[in-house]
């Protein structure tokens, strides 16, 4: 299971699409391909932990990721907890769904993942989901590819 941030992971600092036709425009194609490969290799499902989840329903988010070329099974979004760090929102989702840390990975361009730091791969917002980040995610997720 992959907890996914978008800005800084699937788009890099300074990226601006030629035209904007929704959220999909803000996902860089090469980063989308790399994420799809990570998901294909590991069999991981995705939970969106990005600010992109705010004010949007799951079907719309699924449609936007698919339109951007991401082959993902988006199964949910983390809750929005006022004033809470992102890792607390991820932790709350995990507790609600009975998911243990050993079967997850988190990719984000932030720094602090608190108690979930061992399952965290930081993407530089300058590079996004590059080969190094992809390899680290695969290393975390591959041993648990068949886990829910």
Query: pLDDT per residue over 84-120, tens digit each?
Result: 999 999 999 999 999 999 999 999 999 999 999 999 9
Average pLDDT of the residues in 127-137? 97
Asked whether residue 18 is domain-assigned, the answer is: no
126 three-state secondary structure: coil
As for how many domains the chain has, the answer is 1
Asked whether residue 48 is domain-assigned, the answer is: yes
What is the arrangement of strands in the sheet containing 74-77, beginning at the earlier edge strand?
Answer: 74-77, 46-48, 2-4, 105-108, 120-122
CA nearest neighbour of 8 among 22, 28, 23, 25: 28
Asked whether residue 47 is domain-assigned, the answer is: yes
Q: Give the global pTM.
A: 0.93
Asked whether residue 117 is domain-assigned, the answer is: yes
Which one-letter DSSP state was computed for residue 50? S
- Can you give the CATH number for the domain in which 111 is found? 3.40.50
Asked whether residue 65 is domain-assigned, the answer is: yes
Q: What per-residue string of b and e applies to 15-34 under the rule 16 or more CB within 10 Å gives b? A: beeeeeeebbbbbbeebbeb
Q: What is the pLDDT of residue 130?
A: 97
Confidence category of residue 144, pLDDT binned at 50, 70, 90: low
Asked whether residue 17 is domain-assigned, the answer is: no
Cα(19)–Cα(100) distance, rounded to whole angstroms?
41
Asked whether residue 75 is domain-assigned, the answer is: yes
Q: Write the pLDDT tens digit of every residue in 24-80.
A: 899 999 999 999 999 999 999 999 999 999 999 999 999 999 999 999 999 999 999
> Structural domain of residue 55, as residue ranges?
2-12+23-123+131-144
Report yes or no: 48 and 61 within 8 Å, Cβ to Cβ: yes
Q: What is the pLDDT of residue 109?
A: 96
């Amino acid at each position: 299971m992959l907890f996914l941030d978008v800005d800084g992971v699937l788009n890099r600092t300074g990226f601006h699409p030629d035209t904007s036709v929704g959220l999909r425009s803000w996902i860089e194609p090469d980063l989308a391909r790399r994420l799809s490969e990570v998901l294909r290799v590991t069999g991981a499902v995705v939970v969106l932990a990005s600010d992109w989840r705010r004010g949007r329903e799951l079907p719309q988010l699924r449609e936007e990721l698919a339109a951007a070329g991401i082959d993902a099974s988006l199964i949910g979004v983390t809750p929005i907890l006022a004033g809470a760090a992102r890792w607390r929102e991820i932790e709350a989702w995990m507790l609600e769904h009975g998911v243990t840390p050993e079967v997850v990975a988190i990719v984000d361009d932030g720094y602090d993942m608190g108690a979930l730091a061992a399952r965290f791969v930081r993407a530089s917002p300058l590079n996004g989901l590059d080969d190094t980040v992809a390899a680290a995610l695969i290393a975390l997720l591959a041993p648990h590819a068949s886990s829910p």
